[in-house]
Chain A
Amino acid sequence: MPVVTPALASIVFAAGAVAGALGALLGLGGGIFLVPFLNLGFNFPISIAAAISLTTVIATSSAVSAGRAGKQLINMRLGMLLEVATAAGSLFGGVTAQFLSQSTLQRLFGIVAMVVALVMLTRLKRRNVMLDPSIDPGVLGGRFYDQESGGMVTYRVKRLPLAIGASFVAGNVSSMLGIGGGIIKVPILNAWCGMPMRAAAATSAFMIGVTATAGAVIYYGRGQILPILAAAAVLGVQLGSWGGLRFGQRASAKWLKILMAFVLIVVSGLMFVRAAR
């Protein structure tokens, strides 16, 4: 158990701010940076790091989605449909985490992150955007005002079973490793399911709160959410995601994809390093 001091709380606050800013930019939730930081940098047990991270993931998701609600960027219908799968995955993951080897899962995660990064880099020019607003988006598609294109953007959702499967896996990894799971959902929704990057990221960030809650409740019941550090991390992440969100609206989709792929490669490496210990 880490010894809670004002210095440690300040460091966790700062780490939260950086993770929150990056998370808001990428639609990842921030946990993907916070967990390795707490685990590798400060030798927190992975369960404690995951528990703290999951609370910040909930805060990020709620704050970011509260600001976006009403702008139609979040595809709420698709989000609520996929939440059935992410919450089931998260519940299943939280329970099986007690019986599975962490290092096996970390290696698997490293492989998945690397594959997804490569997919992102090879699909930089795909936009999945139809500027004709009269196109029927279907029951699950969406329509929103895109600043980059300067018009209403319409899209249809393709390959729904793949989106559901990816959501289940994302939920599973979320509660086991303390991340939001956007790292799995966003690239797949964007690359194969026809969603524009921004809508995929917003919808994923929206779902992540429910996903993380299904896992966090289990950690909370076991007393693994250390109150002072969780508070410091949550407040840091709030500050960081507020900044990241302001910046993110001006960043181009291509730039976001390149940055995201780079992040995935780094995370993959970190996962292998951790698994080898």
Chain B
Amino acid sequence: MTRHVKERPLNEGGMRRLERAVGVVLRVGVIVSSLCLAVGLVLSLAGAVPAVTGALLQVGIIVLLCTPVARVMVSTVEYVTDRDWPFASLTTIVLLELLASAVAALAFNRRI
């Protein structure tokens, strides 16, 4: 399966490290959020204490929402480490856009 191909002009080692880091962040986020959601769902359908199940479900949803954000943060750090400034800037812009979406959520929340 692993064939040797001609090196790309870019930093292959850095790209492989980035892919691994991104994979770890996504996997951890999915596992933690799924566990919280699964336990919370089963407990709430079984009629357990609403405060506990509600908290578990909220944590699950928040971890889920934070997973892509964490993935972009890790990418930004990796690109800065590699001194890949164009892509460090692009991922920073994405983070700012996600921040703006949270600000918009708060604004709508207050108005309604």
A residues with CB within 8 A of B: 6, 9, 55, 58-59, 61-63, 65-66, 69-70, 72, 74, 76-77, 80-81, 83-84, 87-88, 90-91, 94-95, 98, 133-134, 136-137, 139, 143, 145, 151-152, 209-210, 212-218, 220-223, 225, 227-228, 230-232, 234-235, 238
Contact = CB atoms under 8 A, between A and B. Distances in A.
Interface of B: 1, 3, 5-6, 8-10, 15-16, 18-20, 22-23, 26-27, 29-30, 33-34, 37-38, 40-41, 44-45, 54, 57-58, 60-61, 64-65, 67-69, 71-72, 75, 87, 90-91, 93-94, 97-98, 100-102, 104-106, 108-109, 112
B37 A84 contact: no
A95 B22 contact: no
B30 A84 contact: no
Given A9-B45, A228-B41, A235-B41, A218 B101 contact: yes
Contact of B109 (A6, A94, A222): A222
Given A65-B26, A90-B101, A214-B97, A228 B57 contact: yes
25 contacts: A55-B61, A61-B68, A62-B29, A62-B67, A66-B27, A69-B20, A69-B22, A69-B26, A76-B15, A80-B90, A83-B72, A83-B94, A88-B97, A134-B5, A213-B69, A214-B98, A217-B101, A221-B102, A221-B106, A222-B109, A228-B45, A232-B41, A234-B33, A234-B60, A235-B38
Nearest to A87: B97
The secondary structure that dominates the B interface is helix
Contacts of A59: 30, 33-34, 64
Given A83-B94, A134-B5, A234-B60, 6 more contacts: A62-B30, A62-B71, A69-B19, A145-B3, A221-B102, A221-B109
Chain B CB within 10 A, most for which of A94, A136, A209, A223? A209
Contact of B57 (A77, A221, A227): A227
A65 B22 contact: yes
Nearest to B44: A228
Contacts of A214: 97-98, 101
Nearest to B62: A220
A88 to B, nearest CB: 6
A98 B57 CA distance: 27
A225 B67 CA distance: 17
B61 A210 contact: no
Contacts of A58: 64-65, 67-68
